[in-house]
Amino acid sequence: MKHLHTLCFPAVILAFIALSCQHDPDESVKPGPPTDDCDTTLVTYTSSVVPILQDNCYSCHSGTVPSGGLDLSNFEQLAFVAQNGSLSGAINHKPGFTPMPDGLPKLSDCDINTLTIWIRDTTFTDPEIGHECDPDTVYFQNEILPLLISSCGVTGCHDPGTAQDGVILTDYASIMQTADVRPGNPDGSDLYEKITDSDPDDRMPPPPNQPLNAEQIARIERWILQGAQNNHCENTSCDTLNVTFSGQIFPVIQNTCLGCHSGPNPTGILLLTNHSQIASVAASGRLLGAIKHQNGYQPMPQNGAQLNQCIITQFEKWISDGTPNN
């Protein structure tokens, strides 16, 4: 009985608030994502995406002769159009795409919202595709995304909240679309053009931030030349015994943290630009606390995926060795 009470009471209050709002014509309605009838707290492929496609798309895009040669009941084909931007272009009726569903009214805001969240939050990396790292291949999830998040996808610049010039650099689909990445063609890609612009006023990241270094620029160029895939790899041979500052620790910091933890420092942000700064943060326990996402520490890298277990173990080893500058 007590149970029922605690559940009903807030419901009654909510209903009352909802009613009183309806009765107040002066109450300005704030635009925003619909919250009442559009639940986007847990968007998954099977429970959220499939039902929308079933109702609106499978009639044409499945079966033996799917429209446009596109079978949306096939995950790989759906992932393909989700990643290359045409799914979003089609359902949002963006210029340059055939508006979908073909000849029918646009999907509801809630359906579009749901699909957009799914596209944004899904890496589409087939576990089959993630394999042993090949030294000649540049991997988006391992090497490109962390660099772009830390150098560009920060608050005030190209995170989803700020989206300067409409450019968002914190996930694959947004990077491809909003930085106009053309697979195989670095010079035709806005992303590459911006990081290599010789005019400091146009160059990204803008002064007083340091430009990306030659190795980082070459890495992005190579990734685009190799097809700008959303790929990732696993280093199954993880050496956690012979860990050095220059060999393992600093390269990770450079690739994943420095974009945020460096610079002219007007905001007093923690600096991680050299051995002594990193060693002193390590000594305070904050370095491990942050990368292990321990309680009481801000989880790092901010806005990005947690470092993989191999790297975390290497940091632990380096710290237990006494943070040598080797």
Tell me which residues touch ligand HEC (CB under 6 A).
56-57, 59-61, 67-68, 70, 81, 86-87, 90-91, 97-98, 100-104, 107, 149-150, 154, 256-257, 260-261, 269-270, 281, 286-287, 290-291, 297-298, 300-304, 307
Q: Which residues contact 302 (CB under 8 A, 6 or more apart)?
A: 154, 260
What is the chain's Cα-based Rg?
24
* Extended beta strands in the chain, E state: 131-132, 233-234
- Using DSSP, state whether 132 is helix, strand or coil: strand
> CB of residue 209 vs ligand HEC: minimum separation in angstroms?
12
Residue pair 282/323 in contact (Cβ under 8 Å)? The answer is yes
Nearer to ligand HEC (CB atom), residue 101 or residue 211 = 101
Which residue, 170 or 230, is less far from ligand HEC as judged by CB?
A: 170
Least gap, CB of 87 to ligand HEC (angstroms):
5
- The string of DSSP letters for 146-208 reads HHHHHHTSSTTTTSTTT-GGG---SSHHHHHHHTT--TT-GGG-HHHHHHH-SSTTT-SSPTT
Measured between alpha carbons, how far is 325 from 161 in angstroms, rounded to an integer?
38
- Smallest gap from Cβ 239 to ligand HEC, in A, equals 19
Cβ of residue 104: shortest distance to ligand HEC, in angstroms? Answer: 6
Q: Considering beta carbons, is residue 92 or 226 the nearer one to ligand HEC? A: 92
Which CB sits closer to ligand HEC, 233 or 291? 291
Work out how close the CB of 82 gets to ligand HEC at its nearest, in angstroms, rounded to a whole number.
9
Q: What are phi and psi of 242, to 5 degrees?
A: -100, 80
The minimum distance between CB 103 and ligand HEC, in angstroms, equals 6
25 preceded by a cis bond (ω within 30 of 0): no
Min dist. Cβ of residue 67 to ligand HEC (A): 4
CB-nearer residue toward ligand HEC: 145 or 224? 145
* Strand (E) or helix (H) holding 307: none
Nearer to ligand HEC, 66 or 130 (CB): 66
Nearer to ligand HEC, 186 or 230 (CB): 230
Tell me if residue 45 falls in helix, strand or coil. Answer: helix
